[in-house]
Structure 1
Amino acid sequence: MSTQRTRMRAVSVVAGIGIVALLAAGCARGSDGGGGGDETSAPSPGITDDSITLGITTPLSGPTAGPGTCTVAGITAYFGAKNADGGVEFGDGKTREVKIEALDDAYDPQKAAANYEQLKDSVFAMTAGLGTPTNRAWREAATADEVPQALIETGDPIFSDATESPWSLGFVPIYQNEGAAFGELLASSSEEHKVAILSQNDDYGAGYVEGFKSAIEGADNIEIVKELTYEATDASVDAQLTELAATDADVFFNAMSITPLVISSLQKTQELGWLPSWFLPSNTSSPTAILEPGGASAFPGVYTVSFAKAAASPAFAEDPDVVDFLANLNEYADYPDTPAFPHCSWSYMIGATLEQVFAKMTEPTRADFMEQLRTISDFAAPLMLEGTAVDTTQDGQPAVSSVVVQKYNGKGYANADTFG
């Protein structure tokens, strides 16, 4: 018994010495004006006085590799330029190099979850990755581990619910916002319209349809004549398109995330002689990668929504933001072409938004990062369209909640004030 008491006393003495040392260190910081006498919290994983490492799990192979590669290229280009200019200044007075570590999940939820487990202890935060099912696959783990899942590229509203997902925040508009924007435009039309719907059989597709239906509720000029779904793993949707074409609907609401399926759907409807106006989600509406191969000019109108300047659009060829963006993509992300997908622009804007957060951080901790992440308001990130902005202060909304409806003009998109 006496031996045990002796050991306990020894531990207490050692602990006491440690406390005295910490207090002395705190006083020393206060005496020279650094920290005001407050203890600095221990750094979280992935951050030092000189650098911070961000992790990304995203599809770099498979049918969504085009947009997935962009999620890495854009943010790499942004911080590559910042690092070359000396680094990013944080709110604690330190300047850090921003490093990116990206892993391929091939749009497979199990691979995404495994990637998160591989990265979580070596990166400060996860960011920018594409996909609803893939980001959902590790959302609960990130919450339990208190690892930021910040500014990811999915419109699933669960990531923007601070109660459900306190360690997560989406960047792009939620799917309901996109669907509602098109529904509002259609409802404002003076003509009657019959709508056929094909949506992905998951939260992605359901969100778009929910937003669209809420916006047309009470509109006497709109009738939904047929509604079908497809699986994200389907190789073809020809059967659904044939059934929808038989309705002779003049509007096709196609909530589809798989690039090859969108192209083949554009081609198949032309083969069937069905030429409605289309609505496409922002992430599958690329003029060069999807609409041109699909022959979209054959339709009376293809509509989408956006909040970012399209680098491929002639209207922005001399825009300073776009010029810098393309130069940085080429130099720092080894991406020599004008991107066909908006995800390159989105992740570039994510980089700019993260820089705003870093500038507010006074402690090198994930907790302080999340606190500051939710304080960005009315920030015009590079490449943002007029009338849109980053605002992370609205619970239930992602960083970007404002969108502009646009219509394909054969080369790019132009703002659409009216339907038709």
Structure 2
Amino acid sequence: MPAMHLRLAAFSAAYLAGLALLAASATGALAQKKYDTGASDTEIKIGNIMPYSGPASAYGVIGKTEEAYFKKINAAGGINGRKINFISYDDAYSPPKTVEQARKLVESDEVLLVFNSLGTPPNSAIQKYMNSKKVPQLFVATGATKWNDPKDFPWTMGWQPNYQSETQIYAKYLLKEKPGAKIAVLYQNDDYGKDYLKGLKDGLGAKAASMIVVEESYETSEPTIDNHIVKLKSLNADVFVNITTPKFAAQAIKKAAEIGWKPMHFLNNVSNSIGSVMKPAGFENSQDIISAAYLKDVADTQWSNDPGMKEFLAFLDKDFPEGNKLDGLIVTGYGVAQTLVEVLKKCGDNLTRENVMKQAASLKDFRTEVLLPGIKINTSSTDFAPISQLQLMRFKGDKWELFGEVISADVGG
């Protein structure tokens, strides 16, 4: 009997040990690294599409800034030990070319995600494709309101404040400060321009019809918009809402000054860079223009001792010396690249496309230090609009001066 007991005890011990081993290996399996195409133990492949040439080429510096920032991250050991392989292509702001480059990134380069591709028409052209392939189209570089549509497009997310929020804020200001305004609107004839225009009309409400005296559109293929500015002046408008990309924004500011038209001038945020718009247009021509900001401006002396600004300037000196520190687009590229790095860090060893979107959709009060104080990045599974706050500013001398409070104007997708 004692021998049988011993054998049973030995069997039980062996059985329990076996169970423990099974449990341990199951836990090990759960803790194993998970990868989709584009990720491995050593690298994370990120795709990007920018207009390095063509009518919107001023924005190309955003892609160059991101490339420099990722090189800096790689030099410091990468993200959780993995190096970023950043593959960026030129689409010249031409939607058919964007489609071609997106297919190349997804099907040939086999990237994990496409990040911060620029422009509303280009991103619109690839949105259905990216979602059908279930490849993240993450932090697109356009403020179109439609990127906040997690129900219909769960693989597409914006980053910057949306266009409708911005022009609603201008409308709020106008209704308060100049309720009898005669408004002339110049807008780019595409989804980007129309989105801004819709926000302005929504913000003005019932007064839109009487306050807006002209809605003038232009094509990106036009070499100059001078004739449009002459027409707007002839209609005696005393407010100019300027919805243009950098090249055309600089032309509009210059021409208005040349013909002596001095309306209250609102310039959309995507073209308020001192380096690529205000300076080329002439500081003397840019005085008192109103815009909106969500990022710190290097030229603003109030940030001289700001730790975040010091960090940004150190990055420019060491990692991107060719960058013009007065170019607000570089600050944008830096801020959005930092946000992606945060998302990838949160992914840990689960670098699946699904987890990338899950982590991007669960940012809570995240701040890249180039954001204005009081502005935070928040997302959820039902809110794909990371930044929804802005502050008004006015151009004085050779820099922007902030005024008023940080304003929220959340607009649903």
- TM-score bucket (shorter structure): 0.7 to 0.9
CA–CA distance in structure 2, aligned partners of residues 29 and 179 of structure 1: 60
Q: Contact 2:361/2:384 (CA < 8 Å) preserved in 1? A: no
1:400 alignment counterpart: 387
2:411 alignment counterpart: none
Matched AA of 1:126 = V
1:16 alignment counterpart: none
More moved, 143-152 vs 319-328: 319-328
* 2:129 corresponds to 1:138: no
Q: Which runs of 5+ in 2 are unaligned?
A: 1-19, 406-413
CA RMSD of aligned residues (A): 2.6
Structure 1 residues 394 and 315 mapped into 2: Cα distance closer, same or farther (>3 Å)?
Answer: farther
Q: 1:272 aligns with which of 256, 259, 264?
A: 259
CA–CA distance in structure 1, aligned partners of residues 397 and 221 of structure 2: 30
Kindly provide the CA deviation profile for residues 89-138 of structure 1, in whole angstroms up to 9, marking residues without a partner as x.
3xxxxx32222111111111111111111111421111022111111121
CA–CA distance in structure 1, aligned partners of residues 209 and 283 of structure 2: 25
Q: Which runs of 5+ in 1 are unaligned?
A: 1-26, 90-94
1:172 alignment counterpart: 160
Runs of 4+ in structure 1 displaced over 6 angstroms? none
Q: Provide the TM-score with structure 2 as the length reference.
A: 0.85
Q: Contact 2:55/2:220 (CA < 8 Å) preserved in 1? A: no
1:73 alignment counterpart: 64
Q: 1:109 aligns with which of 73, 92, 95?
A: 95
Identity across the alignment (%): 27
2:410 alignment counterpart: none
Structure 1 residues 387 and 254 mapped into 2: Cα distance closer, same or farther (>3 Å)?
Answer: same
More moved, 360-369 vs 293-302: 293-302
Matched AA of 2:279 = E
Matched AA of 1:64 = A
Structure 1 residues 220 and 65 mapped into 2: Cα distance closer, same or farther (>3 Å)?
Answer: closer
1:291 alignment counterpart: 278
Kindly provide the CA deviation profile for residues 186-224 of structure 1, in whole angstroms up to 9, marking residues without a partner as x.
222166322111111111111111111211225699721
Aligned residues: 384
TM-fit CA distance, 1:84: 2.1
CA–CA distance in structure 1, aligned partners of residues 22 and 399 of structure 2: 57
Structure 1 residues 390 and 231 mapped into 2: Cα distance closer, same or farther (>3 Å)?
Answer: same
More moved, 40-49 vs 198-207: 40-49
Q: Contact 1:58/1:68 (CA < 8 Å) preserved in 2? A: yes
* 2:404 corresponds to 1:417: yes
CA–CA distance in structure 2, aligned partners of residues 177 and 75 of structure 1: 26
TM-fit CA distance, 1:41: 7.4
Q: Provide the TM-score with structure 1 as the length reference.
A: 0.84
* 2:202 corresponds to 1:214: yes
TM-fit CA distance, 1:396: 5.3
Kindly provide the CA deviation profile for residues 156-178 of structure 1, in whole angstroms up to 9, marking residues without a partner as x.
12222112211110111111011
1:337 alignment counterpart: 323
CA–CA distance in structure 2, aligned partners of residues 137 and 374 of structure 1: 23
Q: Contact 1:174/1:397 (CA < 8 Å) preserved in 2? A: no
Kindly provide the CA deviation profile for residues 243-298 of structure 1, in whole angstroms up to 9, marking residues without a partner as x.
210122221001112x2222221122222221112111111111232123223534
* 2:231 corresponds to 1:243: yes
CA–CA distance in structure 1, aligned partners of residues 354 and 263 of structure 2: 49
CA–CA distance in structure 2, aligned partners of residues 167 and 220 of structure 1: 35
Q: Contact 1:158/1:164 (CA < 8 Å) preserved in 2? A: no
* 2:31 corresponds to 1:60: no
More moved, 387-396 vs 213-222: 213-222
Q: 2:43 aligns with which of 21, 46, 51?
A: 51
Structure 1 residues 414 and 31 mapped into 2: Cα distance closer, same or farther (>3 Å)?
Answer: same
CA–CA distance in structure 1, aligned partners of residues 23 and 346 of structure 2: 21
After superposition, residues 2-401 of structure 1 pair within 5 angstroms as 31=24, 35=27, 37-38=29-30, 40=32, 43-70=35-62, 72-89=63-80, 95-121=81-107, 122-189=110-177, 192-218=180-206, 223-257=211-245, 259-298=246-285, 301-332=288-319, 334-361=320-347, 362-393=349-380, 395=382, 397-401=384-388
Q: Contact 1:58/1:107 (CA < 8 Å) preserved in 2? A: yes
